[in-house]
Amino acid sequence: MEHRGAVRLETERLILRPFRPEDAKAMYRNWCSDPEVTKYLTWPPHESEAASRALLESWVPRYADPRTYLWTMELKELGEAVGSVSAVELSDETDSVTLGYCLGRAWWGRGLMPEAVKAVLGFLFEQVGANCVNACHDPRNPNSGKVMRKVGMRPEGVRRAVGRNNQGVCDECWHSILREEYESGNGNRSG
């Protein structure tokens, strides 16, 4: 893969861009402090805006590495961050990328996450040279799986009791899309 880092991407309603320290307030308010948003994630809700700021201060220097794919989702109509999409794992050996994402509850059900993930898929396949992009979700969080299917990912199967999130040990439902599926239109191609 030819790593390019978290370049700015734009969709109809969103700007996907690297996080900035000044995103801490919106990040905390819009999703990181909400136990419903973090219910099936691997990190607990932030207890304060200072916790969000500290996390951002640790993330921002990572953007110097072109293997860092960590975007905030800025809603154009609001002008602030409402969620994130990131590569949580990369393999140059297999040209594969594992995605993770989260979105503030106030914006659930509006199609924003599929819109963001489609843009990221297009970037990873067309510019980075990924061959496979995958993601997983806790089966008790079926809406996350709906996002995966809406962007053209296919179910691969369930790995039993291999994950851990804020609910404890959990199963993981895996989905993926290959570059050839994306290019042939068998996945929902962005753009």
pLDDT digits (tens, 9 = 90+) for 84-93: 999 999 999 9
Domain edges within the chain: 9-184
What average pLDDT score do residues 36-61 get? 96
**Percent of the chain at pLDDT exceeding 90:** 96
What is residue 188's predicted lDDT score, i.e. its pLDDT? 52
Q: pTM score, two decimals?
A: 0.94
Nearest one of 143, 146, 135 to 172, comparing CA atoms? 135
Q: What is the pLDDT of residues 142-151, one digit of tens each?
A: 999 999 999 9
What average pLDDT score do residues 30-55 get? 96
Q: What is the pLDDT of residues 14-24, one digit of tens each?
A: 999 999 999 99
- Pairs from 104-108 (Cβ < 8 Å, separation ≥ 24): 104/30, 104/31, 104/34, 104/37, 105/31, 105/34, 105/36, 105/37, 106/30, 106/82, 107/75, 107/82, 107/83, 108/143
Question: Taking 50 as the threshold, does the pLDDT of residue 137 lie above it?
Answer: yes
CATH of 9-184, one of 3.40.50.620, 3.40.50.1370, 3.90.170.10, 3.40.630.30: 3.40.630.30
Per DSSP, the three-state class of 8 is coil
